[in-house]
Amino acid sequence: MAIDYENEELLTVTQAAKQMPTRPAVRTVWRWMQEGCWGTKLESVLIGGRRLTSREAIRRFITATSESIEAKKPEMSARRRQAIERAERELREAGV
């Protein structure tokens, strides 16, 4: 989705960094716009030689990166699951 500059609240990179919950460095926000994070780029628009993003784009970026992280979590291997079950069984037998 692209930024709708007529209907979204535009922010400079510095303003965007201050609006984000974790207060990332301005350079980090710039990198998210240029390179992305977890396969998602922070949407931006170039107006009059200034790179801007929007409050709404930040929300979309946070949602998309959170979903990407959850989707990429590795599943537990069968060997690991068996080791956990064995350890739990031993603890139960030991009365712990």
* Cβ within 8 Å of residue 50, ≥6 positions away: 12
pTM flag (> 0.75): no
- Give the alpha-carbon dihedral of 7, 12, 14, 19, to 10 degrees: 0
pLDDT at res. 3: 93
pLDDT at res. 67: 80
pLDDT at res. 70: 61
Reported in sequence order, the residue ranges of 1-96 that DSSP labels E, i.e. its strands, are 10-12, 45-47, 50-54
pLDDT at res. 34: 95
CA dist., res. 46 & res. 10, Å (int): 11
Report how many helices (DSSP H) and strands (DSSP E) the chain contains, helices first: 4, 3
The whole-number mean pLDDT for each consecutive block of 10 residues of the chain, a chain of 96 residues, reads: 91 95 95 93 95 96 82 71 89 87
